[in-house]
Structure 1
Amino acid sequence: MGRSYVAIGDSLTVGVGARLFGGGFVERYAAMLEKRLHMPIELSVFAKSGLTTDAMLLLFKRTDVRCAIEQADIITITGCGNDLVQAVQHEKEGVDEKELLLASMHCQANFTEMITEIARIKRGQKQHYAIYILNLYNPFPNIPIAERWLQQYNHHLRILAAKPHVEIVDVYRVFKGHEKEYLSIDQFHPNHKGYEAMASALFQRSSE
């Protein structure tokens, strides 16, 4: 009997920026789990590049997604990076910093709704399950406003860890000071080293 792992998210869950063979953090983490547990991991990925948290929330209406969540022992979620990019782009055009705060609050509200929806799907189940939300690293370390927003966002994201079954994986701390080493040629998505670091941080968090 194996374990079931569902990965939901944006381009980070897709693995954009990784080498063709090896995959992103999702495949690497699944491989780490298989090695540790000595059993197969059934992996289901529901992700697409460019998804905002609004679009991710719509995934939960799909029957295939709900069925996969119902069976899942482990669920990972990445998101809000695209919400951040939109807000930063607006900021460069002279929009008030409130734009960033609103984006942050909107992401957190959507994450809360996702967690609530997972709880609804799993209501009545006795099997243990865990939800791991990966926080955001800073692909714009030279934009002070982005750094400030990210720290604030990641700080508030920790509140979600108070909910049952939810853990936060601190990707921000792992990437801090290693941006050149961990980012791909597009200077936004992780490269294979970055995804390996993300998978290791997730594996360590899920092993505690």
Structure 2
Amino acid sequence: MPTLYAIVSLMLGSMQYWIRLKIRLLELKDRSKWFKPMAWEEKMKNACEQGKLVRLENLDPSLTSSEVQNIIWHGFEESCTAKMIQKTAYSSPHSGQAFVIFKRKEAAESVVRKLEEGCFLMSNGRPLVGSFELPCLSGKKPIFYGHHAIDQPRQRETKDALSTSHCSQPNNIEYDMALEWCLLQEREDKSWRRLYQRQGEELSKLKAKLKSKI
């Protein structure tokens, strides 16, 4: 028969073992937080080098990234990670785009080949377009487009030092350049608005024509 001392020693040893095991598990759990998930641009770069990155076009602009993944799964039975491309000031309001990362290079090639050789119509009647177009990963983007520094004579700087303003004034070249820049920007914005308006009208006519034939 084991003595009381032996039983207590066995129980204490067992408790110490479980305490050490729990501490070890907590340490491993904390270590899992050391490694941050890879950024999306880094994933795109790696996938592009491995031939697993595909650019999808002619999507409904209201689609989400998860909905694009569902389209690929139900249409081609391939798993992927998708992300809708963020719209810019000049993006078409009638069409969306997305980058898709497949798990295998063969899967990406198969999907692109099927889209090129056939016609995959989505539920809204849009034909899906896919390609291996390379993304633009240039890094830091400029803040001011077309901004140039102008070196003026030192004598003028000294003369106008007391009356210099932080904003452009009508008596300097920066003011004239700013007005010209604003005018050109407004003209370009207006041309884009006209283009997308005409494109929307043509799409509406085309949809009505297709419905009449069905």
TM-score scaled by length of structure 1 = 0.24
TM-score scaled by length of structure 2 = 0.24
Q: Per chain length, whose mean CA-contact separation is higher, i.e. which structure has more relative contact order (CA < 8 Å, sep 6+)? A: 1
